[in-house]
Amino acid sequence: MTTLKTVWLLLDDRAGNVNQCLGVAEALGYPFVRKDIKYNAIGRLPNFLLGATMYGVDASSRAGLCQPWPDLVIAAGRRTAPVARYIKRQSQGKTRLVQIMDPGSTGAAEFDLICVPAHDDKQHVAANEMVMFGAPHRVTQEQLNQAQAQWCEQFAGLPQPRIGLIVGGATKDRDFNSDMAERLAAQVNKMAAAQGGSVLVTTSRRTGAATQTLMAGITVPSFKYQWGDDGTNPYFGILACSDILVVTGDSVSMCSECCGTAKPVYIFAPKDMISDKHSRMVDALVTQGYAHYLRNDLQEGTGRQLNAAHDIATRIKQLFENNA
């Protein structure tokens, strides 16, 4: 890959998109430049109207998008696609484009690689597309080792096995109510009590009013962090120091990050909590052996590590090697 000298990441205002791009770039292992993208009101228009332009980008972001153009652009999400296509055209086709998640049919042929989530359930996969399970993430063994060193002392007094409970919450399509929180807490609490273990729980902004019900339902020895509490967020510490992980199925990123640890992962995914798309995501992770559904008993650990970022980085290297 001696031809790959400059890499740009188009990073917008969505944390999930940002983490996916960073995960792929870090797995690729080449120096990269962050290009932070802010949108104006025009950016809300559909891509077939925007075309290969920067009309939807504000002036401050446009100023940083100028020649010399990079060898590679990595971007994620629908709204970055017109910008990526603009860069490729300005470079007279020399810049190659990798898009994480399907940007839609408009200009799809201009992308060198489109990484389509398996849960999109796309019926036809084009030659410039690859199917990925879950989402790219930044969970690496090095990062887990660092988090282990940082948090192990704080969790040392809690009995093993330690069950990490990662809770999301409501989405635009589904609610996360107190009944769901009570059910989740009861299952995890029973699991920990049966093993003589403990629970490390962290919630998110989307957990909302159900947080108190959830926390009250954990009566075994525990560490509890509620979104908005003072101090460092223990998320990576919980990933690193838990023996077992339980995660809610409303977040592709959280499920993928848990499966990236290669620890036994159980997903809480009742049909009334998650969308059909998220349900397909959970089904794919379970079918591929990365996780289990959360039931009333422990099952044999999967031991399989999900690393879509590594898979995409490998495909990018092949792309450049084959076209050098």
- CATH number of domain containing 172: 3.40.50.2000
233 assigned to some structural domain? yes
2 assigned to some structural domain? no
Q: What is the domain count for the chain?
A: 2
Nearest to 48 by CA among 114, 90, 120, 105: 105
Model confidence at 15, pLDDT cuts 50, 70, 90, reads confident
The model's pTM: 0.87
Looking at the fold, whether 103 and 172 belong to one and the same domain comes out as no
Looking at the fold, whether 277 and 241 belong to one and the same domain comes out as yes
302 assigned to some structural domain? no
Looking at the fold, whether 16 and 88 belong to one and the same domain comes out as yes
Q: Is the pLDDT of residue 179 over 80?
A: yes
Please, are residues 133 and 288 in contact by the beta-carbon 8 Å criterion?
A: yes
300 assigned to some structural domain? no
Looking at the fold, whether 178 and 243 belong to one and the same domain comes out as yes
pLDDT of res. 156: 94
Q: Where are the alpha helices (DSSP H) in the chain?
A: 15-28, 47-50, 59-63, 81-90, 141-155, 178-195, 211-216, 235-241, 252-259, 276-287, 308-323
Looking at the fold, whether 279 and 154 belong to one and the same domain comes out as yes
Looking at the fold, whether 96 and 224 belong to one and the same domain comes out as no
Q: Is the pLDDT of residue 323 over 80?
A: no
pLDDT-wise least confident of 18-22, 96-100, 253-257, 298-302: 298-302
The DSSP code sequence of 38-56 is -B-GGGGS-HHHH-SS-TT
Share of the chain above pLDDT 90, in %: 78
SS3 track for 214-283: HHHCCCCCEEEECCCCCCCCCHHHHHHHCCEEEEECCCHHHHHHHHCCCCCEEEECCCCCCCHHHHHHHH
1 assigned to some structural domain? no
Model confidence at 1, pLDDT cuts 50, 70, 90, reads very low
Q: Is the pLDDT of residue 298 over 80?
A: no
Q: Is the pLDDT of residue 300 over 80?
A: no
Looking at the fold, whether 78 and 172 belong to one and the same domain comes out as no
pLDDT-wise least confident of 3-17, 179-193, 249-263: 3-17
Looking at the fold, whether 121 and 156 belong to one and the same domain comes out as no
Please, are residues 251 and 172 in contact by the beta-carbon 8 Å criterion?
A: no
pLDDT of res. 294: 93
What pairing do the DSSP bridges indicate for beta strands 72-76 and 33-36?
unpaired
Looking at the fold, whether 113 and 251 belong to one and the same domain comes out as no
248 assigned to some structural domain? yes
Share of the chain above pLDDT 70, in %: 96
Question: SS3 of 114, please?
Answer: strand
Exposed, middle or buried, 171 (CB in 10 Å: 0-12/13-18/19+)?
Answer: middle
Looking at the fold, whether 273 and 132 belong to one and the same domain comes out as no
pLDDT-wise least confident of 44-53, 243-252, 293-302: 293-302
282 assigned to some structural domain? yes
Looking at the fold, whether 192 and 167 belong to one and the same domain comes out as yes
The pLDDT tens digits of the residues spanning 81-136 come to: 999 999 999 999 999 999 999 998 899 999 999 999 988 888 788 999 999 989 99
pLDDT of res. 302: 59
Question: What is the domain extent for residue 101?
Answer: 7-137+308-323
Mean pLDDT of the chain: 92
38 assigned to some structural domain? yes
Name the DSSP letter for residue 130.
E
Query: Which CA distances in Å does 25 have to 160, 215, 269, 276?
Result: 36, 37, 31, 30
The pLDDT tens digits of the residues spanning 52-75 come to: 999 999 999 999 999 999 999 999
Cα gap 317→324, rounded to integer Å: 10
The pLDDT tens digits of the residues spanning 17-36 come to: 999 999 999 999 999 999 99
Amino acid at 153: E
Cα gap 16→274, rounded to integer Å: 18
Cα gap 32→174, rounded to integer Å: 37
Looking at the fold, whether 174 and 198 belong to one and the same domain comes out as yes
